[in-house]
Amino acid sequence: MTVRSRSAALAAAALLLGGCARAPTFMRPAGAAAESEASLGWFLIVVSCAVVLIVALLVLIGSLRSRGGDPHAVRREGPGLRWITIGGIILPAIVLVVAFVLTLGTLNAVARPPADALPLAITVTGHRWWWAVRYAGQDPQDQALTANEIHIPVGRPVRITLEAGDVIHSFWVPELAGKTDVIPGQRNSIWLEARKPGVYRGQCAEYCGLEHARMAFVVVAEPPGDFARWLARQATPAAMPTDRLARRGHDVFVGGPCALCHEVRGTTAAGRQGPDLTHLATRRTIAAGTLPNTRGNLMGWVANAPALKPGTLMPKLTLTPDELQAVVAYLETLN
Ligand code: HEC
Ligand SMILES: [Cu+2]
């Protein structure tokens, strides 16, 4: 080995090790469904690598050993035929059947409702280009509507029903479960379970138009007590602000175009074209993960949403600077 090829080999090994340490999120599962999918994935990778290595080795041996003779002569019997039968038919058939059976097992494990599942219906609806999240429990305190942020209790399997409001989307939280298509006119469902508390990023995984890439969401897995408190809070209607500026913002909001597209429970604004804003201030981001939920970003968004997310279905609105100040002050009270 020359010095140069040795350093190239070292660099390749370092890259490979670095790559393993920071494996893509779908290779670092944090939930039951993702774990069974990841182990199937690893198994298939190892088997595929072994097949490639063995075939390459045999080709190498064959090419080194065949010296002289007529290369076009076909041997119809003897060891040649045995190699083809075993290596070309029997072995591949075994590998494919094993992979098929394991895949069926994984599909079954992912689809089956776990015994300790949370008895709470969560429906996520994909819209261009955001996600509506509805909680429909028995009690009124378990019924809420929010957007782009799904809270779940840690360590409990949670069923999520997927619906589409317009076109086909795909729901994917790489660390928690594989992709599931979100199809108009069809209800698909998946089970999510997070083993550790945390914030897991999700993303639309089916090209659905201009802002497909900015159609993200988060799954927040938290201790059961925190989850119940969060849900109870989301279920309450919005309180009327006491501050004068925010009150004026409320009037602008319910009296203007905002109310045609947005709902704020507890007010007359009941639009369903856009996200429910009843507890907007509790959310981490706005516009499906596009921007952190800060005052500056809210200002920019309400003043001219298409400038920040070209193609968004929220139009540029004509508000006076005073109205803009007041509306954003109001939005900040929605916690
Ligand atoms: C024609 C319908 C429409 C009107 C009118 C409208 N919006 Fe929106 N709004 C939307 C849609 C659709 C979204 C989701 C955009 C996205 O993420 O691509 C949105 C998103 C938002 C968001 C971000 C919510 C989140 O959780 O991501 C805020 C805040 C917001 N609108 C405030 C307002 C305010 C304030 C007004 C009035 C000044 C208003 N909107 C008028 C349709 C509308
Ligand atoms: Cu989408």
At 1 the pLDDT is 46
**Residue at token pair 């080795």:** 57
Closest listed ligand to the CA of 293: 1
Alpha helix segments (H runs only) across the chain: 3-21, 32-65, 79-83, 91-111, 224-235, 244-255, 258-261, 295-303, 305-308, 321-332
328 Cβ below 6 A of ligand 1 = no
DSSP 142: G
147 Cβ below 6 A of ligand 1 = yes
At 280 the pLDDT is 96
- In this structure, the residue with its CA closest to atom 16 of ligand 1 is 287
State the amino acid at position 174 in one-letter form. Answer: P
Distance 24 CA to ligand 2 centre (A): 21
Of the candidates 240, 304, 296, which has an alpha carbon nearest to the alpha carbon of residue 267?
240
pLDDT digits (tens, 9 = 90+) for 73-85: 655 556 678 888 8
Q: Give the pLDDT of the chain (335 residues) as one tens digit per residue.
A: 455 666 666 666 655 555 555 667 777 788 878 888 888 888 999 999 999 999 899 889 888 886 666 666 655 556 678 888 888 889 899 999 999 999 998 888 777 777 777 778 899 999 999 999 999 988 888 889 999 999 999 988 898 999 999 999 999 999 998 889 999 999 998 888 899 999 999 999 999 999 999 999 999 999 999 999 999 999 999 999 999 999 999 999 999 899 999 999 999 999 999 999 999 999 999 999 999 999 999 999 999 999 999 999 999 999 999 999 999 999 999 99
Q: Is 10 helix (H, G, I), strand (E, B) or coil?
A: helix
At 36 the pLDDT is 83
280 Cβ below 6 A of ligand 1 = yes
Whole-Å CA distances, 213 to 181, 204, 315: 16, 7, 19
Q: Domain 121-235 is in which class?
A: mainly beta
At 118 the pLDDT is 78
**What is the C-alpha to C-alpha distance for residues 165 and 259, in angstroms, rounded to an integer?**
19
DSSP 50: H
Domains 121-235 and 244-332 share a fold: yes
Would you tell me how many other CB atoms lie within 10 Å of the CB of residue 300?
A: 16
Closest listed ligand to the CA of 209: 2
Probe ligand 1: pick from 211, 261, 295, max atoms within 8 Å of CB?
Answer: 261
Closest listed ligand to the CA of 277: 1
Of the candidates 147, 148, 150, which has an alpha carbon nearest to the alpha carbon of residue 121?
150
Distance 303 CA to ligand 1 centre (A): 11
pLDDT digits (tens, 9 = 90+) for 271-284: 999 999 999 999 99
Fold for domain 244-332?
Immunoglobulin-like (2.60.40)
| Domain chopping of the chain, boundaries | 121-235, 244-332
**What is the C-alpha to C-alpha distance for residues 280 and 333, in angstroms, rounded to an integer?**
9
Probe ligand 1: pick from 250, 262, 278, 334, max atoms within 8 Å of CB?
Answer: 262
**What is the C-alpha to C-alpha distance for residues 23 and 18, in angstroms, rounded to an integer?**
8
At 269 the pLDDT is 92
At 77 the pLDDT is 55
Distance 191 CA to ligand 2 centre (A): 20
106 Cβ below 6 A of ligand 1 = no
Sheet holding 130-136, edge to edge: 143-147, 130-136, 121-127, 158-164, 188-192
Residue 257 burial (10 A CB sphere; 0-12, 13-18, 19+): middle
Distance 210 CA to ligand 2 centre (A): 10
Question: At a CB cut-off of 8 Å and minimum separation 6, what does 168 contact?
Answer: 181, 182, 183, 184, 206, 208
Quote the crossing angle between the two packed helices 295-303 and 321-332, to the nearest 10°: 130
312 Cβ below 6 A of ligand 1 = yes
Global pTM? 0.82
